[in-house]
Chains A and B, each alone.
Chain A
Amino acid sequence: MRKMETFDGYERPDGSVGIRNYVAVIPTVACANGIVGMIARAVPGVVPIYHGHGCGRAVEIEMHTRTLAGLGKNPNVAAVLVIGLGCETINAEGLALAISVTGKPVEFLSIQDKGGSRKTAALGMEIVRKMIDDAKRIERKPFGFDRFCVGLECGGSDAFSGVTANPGVGLAADWIVDAGGTVILTETTEMIGTSHILEKRAESPEIAAEIHRVIAEAEKRADDILGPLASLVISPGNMDGGMSSIREKSLGCIIKGGSRLINEVIDYGTTPAKKGLVIMDGPGYDMESLAGLGATGAQLILFTTGRGNPAGFPLIPVIKVASTRRLYRAMEDDMDINAGVVLEGESLEDVSQEIISLAKEVANGRQTKAEINDQDGIVCLYTMNPAF
C-alpha cells in the first residue's frame, strides 16, 4: 500500500496546522505602527503586521477587524501580541479576544494606558520574547495534505500568464483538492465574463447563486465607478496580447483554480467552512487580495506573474510562478518556478509537478524567494469607500 503523503507542520490548539511558526505583532490602528516597529526591531523573529487602517472608517471596520483577526488566527502564527492605541475604532481587547478563540497565546497592550510609546514597546518586547521561547518548543509533526490550505493569486499578468503559469497552477490546485485540501480562488474582478462557466461548477444551486451574485456585484461596481471606462478592465494591452474579449482574459485567470467543483463562496478575509475549491470574494489588486487570503487561514500562496511582481506576504510563504523564461531570467532572485518551459515544449503536467513538489518542500520549511528577500512590508486591507 502506498504510504500517505505528509508534510511536517505545527499543530495549533484549535487543530489547525501551520507551515511556519511565527509570533505576530498586530496594531489595531495605523497610529500604533511605530510601536510595533520598535518591538520588531528589538526582537528578531517577530513579524510586524503594519497596516494603514483601524480608524476613520465606517463601512470597512467590520471587514478590517475580521481580516486582522484572521491574520492572527492564521495557523502559521503561534502567538499574537495586539498593540492598540486607546481611542481607535478597532478595539485592542476585542481583537485579542477574537484571535484567542483559537486557543493560541494572545496578549494586548494599549499605548494610552501603558504610558506612551517607549513604555508600551518595552512591555511588548518582554511579552514577545516569552512568546518566541514558547513557540520554539512546538515541534513539527507529520500531517496529510488534507490539512493543506493554499491561496491563489495572479499579478502583473502578461499574454502568456493564461497559457503557462495559470494552467500549471490550475493542475496543482486540482492535486491539492484531490488530496482533500483546500484551494482558495479570489480576485472577483478577474472572473467577470465567466459567471456562467463557474456557476456550472458549483457544488449546489445555492453556491451557483452566490457565484452569480459576487461576480455581478463586481461588474456593477466597475460600471458604477468607471462608467464607460469599465471596459478598460480589459485593457488595450490585453487586446494586443491576443485576448479578444474580457471572457477570454478572465478564463485565463480562473484556470489557476483548476477544474474541480466549487464548494463554497466566502467574503473577503473570512475562514472557509468547507474544504476543496472555495471562492473568496475580493479585489483584483494583488496586495489587498493577499491580505484577504492570509486571513482565510491559507498557509501558502501560489502567485503567478508575467510582468514580474516581487511581493511576498508576512506570515505566509508565497511561491512565484513566472509565465516565461524571459521573466524568470530577468528576475531570478524573485521567481521560484519557470512555467515558461511550456513554451519550449514541456507539458503543463510537468510544470504542475514542479509546483507541487516545491509546495511540499516549502510546507516542510524550505524558504521561497520572497521569504529569502524578506518581502513582507505593509499589509494592505481592502477598502471600498473614503475615510471620514
Chain B
Amino acid sequence: MKPNVVIINLRDNVAVILEDVKEGDIINLPNGKMFTARSDIPYSHKVALKDIEAGGYIYKYGEVIGAVKENIRKGDWIHTHNLDIEAKVEE
C-alpha cells in the first residue's frame, strides 16, 4: 500500500498524516508496516507511532515538541488536547 504518512526524522514517535483519516482507517508506513487510526485525524496533523505513557515526550523533527498529558496508544491523534507544550524537557 502507498504510505499515507511521512516520518520526518528517524527519532520521531509521531508521523504526519498526508490525507484526512477516519477512526479505524489504516495507517500505512513508508516501511510497509500498518496499523489502525484510533480517531479521526486531519491531514498534516500527527499520529502516534507507538504507545507512550503519560508524561512521555513527543518527538518530531528529531526534537521534543512536548509531553503527553495522558497515556497514548499507537494510532492516537496528537495535538493540543493531549500534548503539554510547556513541559520541561530533560534530555
What residues make up the interface of A, taking CB atoms closer than 8 Å to B? 159-160, 162-164, 167, 194, 196-197, 239-242, 244-245, 247-248, 251-252, 255, 342-345
Contacts and interface: CB of A to CB of B under 8 A. Distances in A.
User: Chain B: interface secondary structure?
Assistant: loop
Given A163-B44, A242-B42, 19 more contacts: A162-B8, A163-B6, A197-B63, A239-B80, A242-B45, A242-B46, A242-B79, A244-B46, A245-B66, A245-B83, A245-B85, A247-B85, A248-B60, A251-B61, A251-B63, A342-B6, A343-B6, A344-B2, A345-B30
Q: Which of B3, B8, B80, B83 has the most CB of A within 10 A?
A: B8
A248 B65 contact: yes
B85 A244 contact: yes
B22 to A, nearest CB: 16
A335 to B, nearest CB: 19
Contacts of A160: 44
A251 B44 CA distance: 15
Interface string B43-84: 111100000000000001101011000000000001110010
B21 interface: no
Nearest to B81: A244
Interface string B5-30: 01010000000111000000000001
Contacts of B63: 194, 197, 247, 251
A278 to B, nearest CB: 21
Contacts, number: 61
A255 B3 contact: no
A30 B62 CA distance: 46
A241 B44 contact: yes
Contacts of B65: 244-245, 247-248, 251
Interface residues of B, number: 24
Given A167-B8, A244-B65, A244-B78, A251 B60 contact: yes
Nearest to A240: B42
Interface of B: 2-3, 6, 8, 16-18, 30, 42-46, 60-61, 63, 65-66, 78-80, 83, 85, 89
A208 B61 CA distance: 20
Contacts of B78: 244
Contacts of B3: 345
A242 B85 CA distance: 13
11 contacts: A162-B61, A163-B44, A167-B8, A242-B17, A242-B79, A244-B65, A244-B66, A247-B66, A248-B60, A345-B3, A345-B30
Contacts of A167: 8
Contacts of A241: 44
Nearest to A344: B2
A341 B45 CA distance: 18
Contact of A159 (B2, B44, B85, B89): B44
Nearest to A249: B65
A37 B91 CA distance: 57
Contact of B61 (A196, A242, A252, A343): A252
Contacts of A197: 63
| 9 nearest A-B pairs in the assembled complex, by CB-CB distance | A159-B44, A242-B45, A245-B85, A251-B61, A242-B44, A248-B65, A244-B83, A343-B18, A244-B80
A364 to B, nearest CB: 32
B47 to A, nearest CB: 10
Contacts of A194: 63
A237 B81 CA distance: 17
A345 B6 CA distance: 8
Nearest to B83: A244
A163 B15 CA distance: 10
Contacts of B79: 242, 244
Q: Which of A160, A162, A167, A343 has the most CB of B within 10 A?
A: A343
Q: Which of A196, A244, A255, A345 has the most CB of B within 10 A?
A: A244
Contacts of B17: 242
A196 B16 CA distance: 24
